[in-house]
Amino acid sequence: MRLLVTGGAGFIGSNLVRHLLRERSQIEVVNLDLLTYAGDVGNLEALRGERRHSFVQGDICDESLVRDLMKGAWAVVNLAAESHVDRSIENPSPFVRTNVLGTRVLLDAARETGVSRFLQVSTDEVYGELPWVDPDSEVPEKPLFTETTPLSPRSPYAASKAAADLLALAYATTYGQNVVIARGSNNYGPHQHQEKLIPRVITKAILRDPVPLYGDGLHIRDWIWVEDFCAGILAALEKGRPGEVYNFGGGMERTNLQVVQAILVALNAPDGLIEFVGDRPGHDRRYGMEFSKARDDLGWEPKADFRSRLNRTVEWYRRRLRQ
């Protein structure tokens, strides 16, 4: 059973490819990635010699290449995306090209070649922001994003992902295409690009460099261990109902300040490294995912403990810096 995975040399993509090959012996993965700044073929080093994995460097906007790679594939899992909010603020153009136009190319090719299932991997950022609630408080009715929360993206990145989701759902309605969308909260774990919060803080703390933190540091994110999200993607691929959206959260809301402080503790680094800087434009105050639909429909739940997995992530980057 052959799958086309796009963006499979990136952070989530490379973890997903390894997860698929480990969990399903019958799966063969064709891995398409352009290897822009966030893609790294080194993330696939552990798969060297794996006969069920083949890597192709290429662009999801290349219609002939995409069509050729899809021939004979059972499903497509689209993780190819420009994903860094700060970069999208500086230049939205590549985000629209890859995230929207690239998704259109993939959808058309999947329809033309008879691919049975199209799984679009998305993000909680398409929903906008939630009211701020202290993550340590015992609020009984804490508002969370559900699959029916109206889309209200607040950055060019989030808008491009929302557009791609709506396009995929429109193809499901218009053409009867078998489309499923998996929206994940903030992933963390090995192989993440250094521009993201956790690897950036780990690297700077190891070097004892100042750790910049936007605004007051109280922006809240729901953190999900990347392996848990990969398990969710596989569950959505195999069990998700056509035309449906599934949220995947870690149930681990933390302020950015709490995350930074936990990393500093793990590295025995002083709080004095924290340097509060001017906030990012349109910085969403809080994300939090409600994932009962994934639990009920797919039998999925997050398993990872945030503190232990964060410490494991710290050690992974520490070893990498020593190499």
Say what the pLDDT of residue 108 is: 98
pLDDT at 76: 98
What would the pLDDT profile of 247-280 be if each residue is shown by its tens digit? 999 999 999 999 999 999 999 999 999 999 999 9
Mean pLDDT of the 143-155 span? 97
**Quick check: 296 pLDDT over 70?**
yes
Which pair of structure tokens corresponds to residue 119? Answer: 């799984």
Any bridge partners for residue 121, and if so which? 182
| Residue 292 tokens, joined | 């009962």
320 falls in which pLDDT band (50, 70, 90)? confident
* Res 321 pLDDT > 90: no
On the 0-12 / 13-18 / 19+ scale of CB atoms within 10 A, 164 is buried
For 240-282, where are the alpha helices, taking DSSP H only?
Answer: 256-266
Strand runs (DSSP E) across the chain, as ranges? 2-6, 28-33, 53-57, 75-78, 117-123, 179-184, 186-188, 211-214, 220-225, 245-248, 253-255, 274-277
Q: Could you list the active site residues? A: 124-125, 157
Q: With 80 as the cut, is the pLDDT of residue 229 above it?
A: yes
The domains found in the chain, sorted by start residue, are 2-191+223-251+288-303 (3.40.50.720)
Task: Give the mean model confidence (pLDDT) for residues 181-203.
Answer: 96
* Mean pLDDT score across all residues of the chain: 96
Q: Specify the pairing of strand 179-184 against strand 245-248.
A: parallel
Decide the pairing of beta strands 245-248 and 28-33. Answer: unpaired
Residue 51 pLDDT: 96
Mean pLDDT over 140-150 rounds to 93
Beta bridge partners of 38: none
Farthest CA pair distance, the chain: 57
The predicted pLDDT at position 125 comes to 97
Beta pairing partners, 221: 254
pLDDT over 70 at 323, yes or no: no
The pLDDT of residue 62 is: 98
pLDDT band at 102 (very low <50, low <70, confident <90, very high): very high
137 or 72: which leads in pLDDT: 72
In angstroms, the CA 8 to CA 17 distance is 7
pLDDT of 139 > 80? The answer is no
Task: Name the token pair of 282.
Answer: 């349109």
- Decide if 98 contacts 80 (C-beta within 8 A): yes
Contact 269, 202 (CB under 8 A): no
| Mean pLDDT value across residues 112-116 | 97
- CA-to-CA dists, residue 61 to 13, 107, 175, 233, angstroms: 18, 11, 21, 23
- Give the global pTM: 0.96
Tokens 């019958």 map to which residue?
26
* DSSP H or E run through 66: helix 63-70
Average pLDDT rounded to a whole number, residues 161-190: 98
Give the residue-averaged pLDDT of 184-206.
Answer: 96
Q: How far is Cα 87 from Cα 89, in angstroms, rounded to an integer?
A: 5
